[in-house]
Structure 1
Amino acid sequence: MKARMSLVYFLLVLGAGVFVIPFLWTVSTALKTSQEIAKDPVHLIPAKPTLENFPGAWHALPFTTFIGNTVFVTLLATLGTVLSAALVAYGFARFKFKGRNALFYTMLGTMMLPSQVTMIPVFLIWRQLHAIDTFIPLILPAFFGGGPFNIFLLRQFFLTIPHELDEAMLIDGASYPQIWWRLILPLSQPAIAAVVVFSFIGNWDNFEGPLIYLNSPENYTVAMGLRLFQDSFGTNMGQLMSASLIQIVPTIVIFFLAQRYIIKGVAVSGMGGR
């Protein structure tokens, strides 16, 4: 048994090492001078680490504007995702109505529909609404459903909350929206934290949406800014890796801060149907 567990841990560490190598290489390149990057053979550890690539990348393009746009879109889209997904999940978990299961399975079935299938029709809708080159297509859809995976995750967690608590609040005169806001959401913090992190990372790293709907550089998000930087300064590998770190560090920090809640929320949600 111990030998088997040791083998499992060895494979996990080995797999983690394989996945972390690209990140370490990015950090290493960002800390090197242009002369050291061009040296052969290449070394992972910089001989003389420097931070000059970071201000160079930051001022080469208006990354302050890109970061501001990304924060604005990400926070609003994440808020809309959490609220709408929690509300829909509450309906599936707490109310019995005709066709509930069929509707729920249909909602799950949309997860198998590639986004490329609806890309053109959705774009035409936003163009008719004169919303192209605005943040509306990146934010507004989050307030209408929150995504099937998030709904499923929260619904499964809501099922683990005893119905007797709802009945006690109903006896005390609470309405169903009050039960959702004052009982269900506070007790579902782990699952909500998981949805927040997934939504934050998805919106922060979203490249396809801004590529389709944003035309003006002053509206670009950091993902589009990084692509613009690559097209303009792609030969400067030190600054390119620094710009890449500017994009990915916030998501790494968010993930590690909420890792404990993510694991708990996903683990408990998997038991919701039992």
Structure 2
Amino acid sequence: MKNNKTTKKIFDHVGLILLSALMIFPVLWWVFASFKPSGELTSTNLLPVRWTLENYIKGWHVTQDLTFGRFFLNTLLIVLTNVVGAVFTSSLAAYGFGRLNFKFKNFWFAVVMMTLMLPSQVTVVSQYIMYSKMGLVNTYLPLNLPYCLGGGAFFIFLMVQFVRGIPKELDESAKIDGSTTFQIYARIILPLLKAPLTTVAIYAFTWSWDDFYSQILYISTPAKYTVGLGLRMLIDAWEIQWGKLLAMSLVSIIPALILFFTRQKDFVEGVATSGLKG
């Protein structure tokens, strides 16, 4: 019996290793291809015959006036604004739905949850017309406002689950001490939401960083381009600059990878326990 269990474990581990190797192979090819000169990109060799940083050096300088450094700064400005806005406004909205009593609360919460079923493509035309009439096209505000006005139904729902799980006796004790409603939120509720706040921050960061669709829709000036739009500049009607594209796309994912792996524990905790609260 013991030998059978050992054999099963061996086969399980071998199978997992093979599947992992199969899934990670395209990523390895991507990494190694970014160090290949243009003439080697079509070769079947995984490792470069001649290693070079040419793709990174030339790819960083998109034009004489624009570099990917500018695109990174533009993207970070958008992303950090979205992260702060989503963390604050979604927790504030969740506090209202999870703790306060007001007229038609359940109805409005149901309306918020119903927006989860609406694809973004359904509302994109009306949103663009609204932002255009407000004179916000070709600015970052259309990319920031959705995150700064509640952050979206998913973030609110995630927060509500945690807020409902916090004992209400803490609120009552704070009220006896003379705390206002906002002070209860800031001093009692918010410090206890570390896990969901981290999860919301990571989601807001990655979604904002990868939001190519909205960026290409609202931003038209190259000086305001984000990393995603900067990568698109390496593709034109006549040529795709594969070496530069591979190198810069690899660089573009580094911030998201650093954030995820450094805060992975809080992220997993927030997702795993969100369905257990309330």
Q: 1:229 to 1:268 in 2, by over 3 A?
A: same
Supply the distance in 1 between the matched residues of 2:134 and 2:115 (Cα, whole angstroms). Answer: 24
Alpha-carbon shift at residue 11 of structure 1 (Å): 6.5
Structure-2 residue corresponding to 1:57: 59
Structure-1 residue corresponding to 2:97: 92
Alpha-carbon shift at residue 18 of structure 1 (Å): 4.3
Supply the distance in 2 between the matched residues of 1:13 and 1:177 (Cα, whole angstroms). Answer: 52
Q: Which amino acid aligns with 2:230?
A: G
Query: 2:200 matched to 1:198?
Result: no
Structure-1 residue corresponding to 2:45: 43
Query: 2:85 matched to 1:80?
Result: yes
Contact 1:210–1:221 at 8 Å: present in 2 too? yes
Q: Which amino acid aligns with 2:209?
A: W
Q: Which amino acid aligns with 1:60?
A: V
Equivalences for 1:1-274 in 2 at 5 Å? 16-39=20-43, 42-61=44-63, 62=66, 63-231=68-236, 234-273=239-278
Contact 1:66–1:222 at 8 Å: present in 2 too? yes
What's the secondary structure of 1:133's corresponding residue? coil
Q: Which amino acid aligns with 2:202?
A: V
Q: Deviations over 1:104-133 (max 9, x none)?
A: 222111111011111111101111111111
Q: 1:48 to 1:124 in 2, by over 3 A?
A: same
Supply the distance in 2 between the matched residues of 1:16 and 1:144 (Cα, whole angstroms). Answer: 40
TM-score (normalizing by structure 2): 0.89
Contact 1:92–1:104 at 8 Å: present in 2 too? yes
TM-score (normalizing by structure 1): 0.90
Supply the distance in 2 between the matched residues of 1:143 and 1:223 (Cα, whole angstroms). Answer: 22
Supply the distance in 1 between the matched residues of 2:14 and 2:275 (Cα, whole angstroms). Answer: 27
Alpha-carbon shift at residue 144 of structure 1 (Å): 1.1
Where in structure 1 are there 5+ consecutive unaligned residues?
A: none
Alpha-carbon shift at residue 48 of structure 1 (Å): 3.6
Q: Which amino acid aligns with 2:35?
A: L
Q: Deviations over 1:133-169 (max 9, x none)?
A: 1111111222111110011111111222211111121
Q: Percent identity?
A: 38
Contact 1:126–1:132 at 8 Å: present in 2 too? yes
Where in structure 2 are there 5+ consecutive unaligned residues?
A: none
Alpha-carbon shift at residue 46 of structure 1 (Å): 2.5
Alpha-carbon shift at residue 91 of structure 1 (Å): 0.9
What's the secondary structure of 1:130's corresponding residue? coil
Supply the distance in 1 between the matched residues of 2:162 and 2:221 (Cα, whole angstroms). Answer: 41
Contact 1:29–1:237 at 8 Å: present in 2 too? no
Contact 2:62–2:233 at 8 Å: present in 1 too? no
Q: Which moved more, 1:110-119 or 1:9-18?
A: 9-18
Q: Which amino acid aligns with 1:112?
A: M
| Aligned alpha-carbon RMSD (Å) | 2.3
Q: Deviations over 1:178-233 (max 9, x none)?
A: 11111211111111000000000000111111111111111111111111112279
Q: Deviations over 1:217-259 (max 9, x none)?
A: 1111111111111227954322110011121111111111111
